[in-house]
Amino acid sequence: MSKLNLAVIVGSVREGRFAPVIARWFVEQAERHGAFTVDLIDLADVELPLALPAMPPAMQPDLPRPEGMAELTRRLKAADAIVILTPDYNRSFPASLKAAIDWHYSEWHAKPIGFVGYSGASGGLLAIEQLRQIFNELQAHTVRNYVSFPRYYELFSSDGTLLEPAGPEGSAKAMLDQLEWWGSVLHDARRDRPFATGL
Protein backbone atom coordinates (compact mmCIF):
# COMPACT_ATOMS: atom_id res chain seq x y z
CA MET A 1 0.00 0.00 0.00
CA SER A 2 1.15 3.56 -0.70
CA LYS A 3 1.63 6.06 2.11
CA LEU A 4 -1.35 6.96 4.26
CA ASN A 5 -2.70 10.50 4.24
CA LEU A 6 -2.21 11.95 7.72
CA ALA A 7 -4.01 15.19 8.54
CA VAL A 8 -2.44 17.11 11.41
CA ILE A 9 -4.94 19.67 12.73
CA VAL A 10 -3.69 22.68 14.68
CA GLY A 11 -6.61 23.37 17.02
CA SER A 12 -5.63 26.69 18.61
CA VAL A 13 -6.26 29.97 16.82
CA ARG A 14 -5.23 32.31 19.65
CA GLU A 15 -2.97 35.25 18.96
CA GLY A 16 0.55 34.43 20.12
CA ARG A 17 -0.20 30.70 20.39
CA PHE A 18 2.62 28.20 20.84
CA ALA A 19 0.95 25.59 18.63
CA PRO A 20 2.98 26.25 15.44
CA VAL A 21 6.22 25.38 17.27
CA ILE A 22 4.86 22.00 18.37
CA ALA A 23 3.23 21.44 14.98
CA ARG A 24 6.55 21.85 13.18
CA TRP A 25 8.17 19.40 15.57
CA PHE A 26 5.41 16.83 15.14
CA VAL A 27 5.32 17.10 11.35
CA GLU A 28 9.05 16.30 11.36
CA GLN A 29 8.34 13.20 13.45
CA ALA A 30 5.55 12.06 11.13
CA GLU A 31 7.63 12.60 8.00
CA ARG A 32 10.59 10.77 9.56
CA HIS A 33 8.31 7.83 10.42
CA GLY A 34 7.92 7.18 6.71
CA ALA A 35 4.40 5.75 6.54
CA PHE A 36 2.56 9.01 5.92
CA THR A 37 2.03 11.88 3.56
CA VAL A 38 1.47 14.73 6.00
CA ASP A 39 -1.12 17.46 5.50
CA LEU A 40 -0.80 20.24 8.10
CA ILE A 41 -4.17 21.96 8.63
CA ASP A 42 -4.12 25.18 10.64
CA LEU A 43 -7.61 26.16 11.79
CA ALA A 44 -6.44 29.77 12.00
CA ASP A 45 -6.58 29.75 8.19
CA VAL A 46 -10.13 28.37 7.97
CA GLU A 47 -13.53 30.08 8.08
CA LEU A 48 -15.20 28.45 11.09
CA PRO A 49 -18.52 30.03 12.08
CA LEU A 50 -19.45 29.19 15.66
CA ALA A 51 -23.16 29.55 14.81
CA LEU A 52 -24.40 26.30 13.30
CA PRO A 53 -27.69 25.82 11.41
CA ALA A 54 -30.87 24.87 13.26
CA MET A 55 -30.42 21.19 12.36
CA PRO A 56 -26.97 19.64 12.73
CA PRO A 57 -24.96 19.40 9.48
CA ALA A 58 -24.84 15.63 10.02
CA MET A 59 -28.62 15.49 9.48
CA GLN A 60 -28.42 17.61 6.33
CA PRO A 61 -25.83 16.02 4.04
CA ASP A 62 -26.68 18.44 1.23
CA LEU A 63 -26.35 21.50 3.44
CA PRO A 64 -23.91 23.93 1.85
CA ARG A 65 -21.14 24.72 4.30
CA PRO A 66 -19.51 28.15 4.35
CA GLU A 67 -17.47 28.67 1.20
CA GLY A 68 -14.26 29.14 3.19
CA MET A 69 -14.67 25.67 4.73
CA ALA A 70 -14.75 23.70 1.48
CA GLU A 71 -11.02 23.03 1.40
CA LEU A 72 -11.01 21.86 5.03
CA THR A 73 -13.85 19.45 4.29
CA ARG A 74 -12.01 18.05 1.26
CA ARG A 75 -8.81 17.55 3.23
CA LEU A 76 -10.58 15.83 6.13
CA LYS A 77 -12.37 13.53 3.72
CA ALA A 78 -9.06 12.60 2.07
CA ALA A 79 -7.36 11.75 5.38
CA ASP A 80 -6.69 8.13 6.33
CA ALA A 81 -5.62 9.14 9.84
CA ILE A 82 -5.81 12.34 11.86
CA VAL A 83 -3.77 13.93 14.64
CA ILE A 84 -5.30 16.69 16.73
CA LEU A 85 -2.86 19.19 18.22
CA THR A 86 -4.56 20.93 21.12
CA PRO A 87 -3.86 22.96 24.22
CA ASP A 88 -6.27 22.92 27.09
CA TYR A 89 -7.87 26.23 27.95
CA ASN A 90 -9.85 26.35 31.18
CA ARG A 91 -9.75 22.53 31.45
CA SER A 92 -11.05 22.00 27.90
CA PHE A 93 -10.12 22.38 24.24
CA PRO A 94 -10.52 25.47 22.01
CA ALA A 95 -13.87 26.51 20.56
CA SER A 96 -12.28 26.61 17.11
CA LEU A 97 -11.64 22.88 17.32
CA LYS A 98 -15.20 22.13 18.44
CA ALA A 99 -16.54 24.17 15.51
CA ALA A 100 -14.39 22.24 13.04
CA ILE A 101 -15.60 18.96 14.52
CA ASP A 102 -19.29 19.92 14.59
CA TRP A 103 -19.38 21.25 11.02
CA HIS A 104 -18.34 17.76 9.86
CA TYR A 105 -19.61 14.25 10.45
CA SER A 106 -18.91 11.48 7.96
CA GLU A 107 -15.40 12.84 7.44
CA TRP A 108 -14.47 11.38 10.85
CA HIS A 109 -16.12 7.97 10.44
CA ALA A 110 -13.96 4.86 10.76
CA LYS A 111 -10.69 6.80 10.93
CA PRO A 112 -8.01 6.63 13.62
CA ILE A 113 -7.38 9.76 15.66
CA GLY A 114 -4.25 10.58 17.66
CA PHE A 115 -3.52 13.52 19.94
CA VAL A 116 -0.68 15.89 20.73
CA GLY A 117 -1.45 18.04 23.76
CA TYR A 118 0.21 20.89 25.56
CA SER A 119 -0.56 23.17 28.50
CA GLY A 120 0.95 24.55 31.67
CA ALA A 121 0.06 21.74 34.06
CA SER A 122 -1.73 18.82 32.44
CA GLY A 123 0.05 18.77 29.10
CA GLY A 124 -3.28 18.93 27.30
CA LEU A 125 -4.59 15.72 28.86
CA LEU A 126 -7.79 17.37 30.08
CA ALA A 127 -8.62 18.39 26.51
CA ILE A 128 -7.58 15.03 25.08
CA GLU A 129 -9.85 13.06 27.41
CA GLN A 130 -12.85 15.15 26.36
CA LEU A 131 -11.96 14.80 22.69
CA ARG A 132 -11.80 11.01 23.03
CA GLN A 133 -15.46 10.99 24.08
CA ILE A 134 -16.49 13.24 21.21
CA PHE A 135 -14.70 11.24 18.53
CA ASN A 136 -16.15 8.01 19.90
CA GLU A 137 -19.60 9.52 19.28
CA LEU A 138 -18.51 10.28 15.71
CA GLN A 139 -17.58 6.63 15.04
CA ALA A 140 -13.85 7.36 14.92
CA HIS A 141 -11.20 5.29 16.69
CA THR A 142 -8.87 7.12 19.07
CA VAL A 143 -5.55 5.35 19.51
CA ARG A 144 -4.20 4.70 22.99
CA ASN A 145 -0.87 6.48 22.82
CA TYR A 146 -0.47 10.25 22.68
CA VAL A 147 2.14 12.99 23.01
CA SER A 148 1.94 15.44 25.90
CA PHE A 149 3.92 18.57 26.73
CA PRO A 150 3.29 19.81 30.30
CA ARG A 151 5.02 23.14 30.99
CA TYR A 152 5.72 23.29 27.27
CA TYR A 153 7.35 26.70 27.65
CA GLU A 154 10.24 25.06 29.53
CA LEU A 155 10.74 22.25 27.02
CA PHE A 156 11.67 24.12 23.83
CA SER A 157 14.54 26.49 23.13
CA SER A 158 13.94 29.97 21.71
CA ASP A 159 14.44 28.63 18.18
CA GLY A 160 11.78 25.92 18.65
CA THR A 161 14.16 23.01 19.27
CA LEU A 162 13.04 20.44 21.81
CA LEU A 163 15.62 20.44 24.61
CA GLU A 164 15.25 16.78 25.64
CA PRO A 165 13.79 15.04 22.60
CA ALA A 166 14.11 11.34 23.48
CA GLY A 167 10.90 10.97 25.50
CA PRO A 168 8.56 12.93 23.21
CA GLU A 169 10.08 11.33 20.10
CA GLY A 170 9.43 7.89 21.57
CA SER A 171 5.84 8.84 22.38
CA ALA A 172 5.33 10.21 18.88
CA LYS A 173 6.68 7.04 17.26
CA ALA A 174 4.45 4.81 19.38
CA MET A 175 1.39 6.85 18.43
CA LEU A 176 2.36 6.97 14.75
CA ASP A 177 2.89 3.19 14.71
CA GLN A 178 -0.67 2.76 16.02
CA LEU A 179 -2.04 5.26 13.51
CA GLU A 180 -0.28 3.39 10.71
CA TRP A 181 -1.78 0.05 11.74
CA TRP A 182 -5.31 1.34 12.29
CA GLY A 183 -5.09 3.67 9.31
CA SER A 184 -4.18 0.83 6.96
CA VAL A 185 -6.83 -1.53 8.30
CA LEU A 186 -9.61 1.05 8.28
CA HIS A 187 -8.59 2.38 4.86
CA ASP A 188 -9.11 -1.09 3.39
CA ALA A 189 -12.31 -1.62 5.35
CA ARG A 190 -13.85 1.65 4.11
CA ARG A 191 -12.90 0.67 0.56
CA ASP A 192 -14.19 -2.91 0.72
CA ARG A 193 -17.18 -2.37 2.97
CA PRO A 194 -18.37 1.26 2.98
CA PHE A 195 -19.17 2.53 6.43
CA ALA A 196 -22.89 2.70 7.29
CA THR A 197 -23.96 5.38 9.77
CA GLY A 198 -26.39 2.94 11.40
CA LEU A 199 -23.62 0.62 12.57
What are the residue boundaries of the structural domains of the chain, listed by start?
A: 4-53+63-192
Rounded average pLDDT over 48-71: 81
The Cα–Cα gap between 31 and 20 comes to: 16
Q: What is the pLDDT of residue 44?
A: 97
Q: What is the pLDDT of residue 118?
A: 98
The answer regarding whether domain 4-53+63-192 maps to CATH 3.30.70.270 reads: no
Q: Which residues of 65-101 are buried (b: 16+ CB within 10 A; e: fewer)?
A: eeeebeebbebbeebbbbbbbbbbeeebbbebbbbbb
Q: What is the pTM of this model?
A: 0.95
CB 22: neighbour CB atoms within 10 A? 27
Output phi, psi for 141, to 5 deg: -115, 115
Q: What is the pLDDT of residues 133-184, one digit of tens each?
A: 999 999 999 999 999 999 999 999 999 999 999 999 999 999 999 999 999 9
Residues 6+ apart with CB under 8 A from 135: 101, 108, 113, 141, 142
